[in-house]
Amino acid sequence: MPDDVLLTYVVSFMVFAVFGSFFNVVIYRLPQMMESSWRRECELLLETPSSGKAEDTSFNIAIPNSHCPSCKAPIKAWQNIPIISYLLLRGRCSNCKTSISVRYPIVELSTALLGLLCIYLFGLGPYGFATAAFCWTLLILTFIDFDHQLLPDQLTLPLMWAGLLCSALSLSPVSLEDAVWGAAAGYLTLWSVYWLFKLITGKEGMGYGDFKLLAALGAWLGWQQLPVIVILSSLVGAIVGSIYLAATRSESNKTIPFGPYLAGAGLITLLWGEWIVDRYLQFAGLG
């Protein structure tokens, strides 16, 4: 590998890891911001006295500065270096020695590796960076849904519009027509499953955020890839969900987020979707 190419990848890894550090903030704070906003709206609508929990409007992605969730000690610059600081601190707060979740370096490392993979496969250009942003958004959505069973509109809807915009600007190999049909079919597919399941069982099997996420995946990958995404997400979801319920001895009616499996299937389809379809057609004797 030429030295200039190696340097590009090294610098890109470092920059992308910094993005990952910011994504940790988004994963932690965005749900809290949404909850606070909902509480204020409910208090205004019901004209009830403020609970005090929704009064702090200064809490957002940028404010306050990063600090230890346990002792509130501010995190110094050298303690905020992606991946490295976690290793230097041995996974503990320098002030109160409380354990720091291993999720932080995992998100940073995943962000960097996904970014490198995208620019390696799709080039160091507009589409390479666009697909990197696509993968990063899926990563953020995955962790938020795991924590809160929530897929924020603030992420799913811009992701869908970005996919349509990439097609409209010819940055994506997916035509605008295929992207529009992909978004519509993606939403209607899970919307139909939701109502069919509700009519049969009287229960809600998934949330509207799942519809919007599949719409976003359809906008990025086209309607042709939707069967691959649905099959992969359902298969992985069934396997992982069964293992989780067995390992934790949870009840069979326990709610398990579907968004992470959709996101994972979308990522796999972006990277290897055409290969999967080709192998299937060959296996079925249709290729």
Q: Which one of 124, 144, 164 terminates a domain?
A: 124
**pLDDT the model gives residue 150:** 93
Q: Are residues 120 and 138 in the same domain?
A: no
| Chain mean pLDDT for the chain | 87
Question: Are 154 and 278 in a shared domain?
Answer: yes
Q: Do 102 and 132 share a domain, yes or no?
A: no
Q: Which of 283, 187, 265 is nearest to 225 (CA)?
A: 265
> How high is the pLDDT of residue 275?
83
Query: What is the number of structural domains in the chain?
Result: 2
Same domain as 113, residue 18: yes
Predicted local distance difference test score (pLDDT) of residue 285: 67
Residues 266 and 156 in one domain: yes
Residue 254 has pLDDT above 90, yes or no: no
Per residue in 163-181, pLDDT tens? 999 999 999 999 999 999 9
Q: Quick check: 212 pLDDT over 90?
A: yes
Q: Are 207 and 149 in contact (CB under 8 A)?
A: yes
pLDDT digits (tens, 9 = 90+) for 95-124: 788 888 899 999 999 999 999 999 999 998
Q: Are residues 46 and 133 in the same domain?
A: no
Using the predicted structure, report yes or no on whether residue 279 has a pLDDT greater than 90: no
Backbone dihedral region for residue 201 (phi beyond 0: left; psi -120 to 50: alpha; all else: beta): alpha
Conformation bin of residue 202: beta by default, left when phi > 0, alpha when psi is -120 to 50: left
Q: Are residues 250 and 285 in the same domain?
A: yes
CB 243 within 8 A of CB 222: no
In this predicted structure, the answer to whether residue 58 has a pLDDT above a threshold of 90 is: no
* pLDDT band at residue 71 under the 50/70/90 scheme: confident
Check if the beta carbon of residue 129 is closer than 8 Å to that of residue 119.
yes
The DSSP symbol for 98 reads P
User: In the structure, what pLDDT confidence band is assigned to residue 184 with cuts at 50, 70 and 90?
Assistant: very high
Q: pLDDT, tens digit, for every residue of 5-44?
A: 788 899 999 999 999 999 999 999 999 998 888 888 887 8
- The answer on 163 and 67 residing in a single domain is no
From 96, 124, 152, the end of a domain falls on 124
Domain residues for 69?
A: 1-124
- 1 shares a domain with 117: yes
Residues 78 and 210 in one domain: no
